[in-house]
Copies of this chain bind each other. A is one copy, B any other.
Amino acid sequence: MGVTDDFLRGRGRQVLTADEWAALEQAIDRIETFPARTAITRRGDRVRESTLLIEGAMCRYLDARDGYRQLLAYHVPGDFVDMHGYTLQRLDHDVATIVESRVAMVAHGRIDQIMRDHPRLAKMLWRSTLLDAAMHREWIFRLGRLDAAGRVAHFICEVHARMEAIGRVTGDVFALPLTQQDIGEACGLTSVHVNRTLRRLREEGVADVARGEVRVGDAARLARIGEFDADYLYLDTGPWGKIDV
């Protein structure tokens, strides 16, 4: 059982052929550990390898002129953080750790090999980038159509579902090592308003976000506030989408 096990966990982990499994494991060049709050890649950088998050938490963001930033994605263990860099070559945003994180580095040359020799596996990597896009779409919806409570609730719901999928929810509690400022940057809100919003959610028994943890008090209500439907995470179909190439 190698590090790619994380990539498959919670994604259905259907049968990999021995060949495919080996190709995925061998694609990993090395494991690296980055400290908390560290930028891994900058917008415009040419990238020659992609990173699979094994342990920790990471994010992607764009900077605005006024110094604030907009989070684009939040990453949990098992996520390919910048697989899109394989084909696009240059990143259009920054990538950073939230807490100390262990990541597997995958050289793009290895992915070329997978593209040539393992079309099913290639399709799975493609799929991981499409899930990113699906989450992006839901973030657009969140920012465009929901009010502060809805945005925060939607964000919590998403992370909850994804943490659940990788077995990192204990009871109704899961880790969310973000400051209120971070949550604001994800939801297009100021940290002050995030504070007020979290207080309301807490007072109403919907969710308690504090000290890097979330305790979900009323998941159904939280989902309703955030107009959340986990469909877009495609948790049911697994990494292969039940089809063959």
Contacts and interface: CB of A to CB of B under 8 A. Distances in A.
Nearest to A65: B227
3 nearest CB pairs, A to B: A144-B188, A136-B136, A143-B143
A231 interface: yes
* This protein's copies in its complex: 2
A137 interface: yes
A41 interface: no
Interface stretch (A98-106, A112-120, A160-168, A199-207): A112-120
A232 B126 contact: no
Contacts of A90: 234, 237
Q: Is the interface of A mostly helix, strand, loop or mixed?
A: helix
Residues of A in contact with B, size category? 35 or more
A159 interface: no
A72 B227 contact: no
Interface stretch (A24-32, A51-59, A81-89, A175-183): A81-89
A112 B234 CA distance: 20
A243 interface: yes
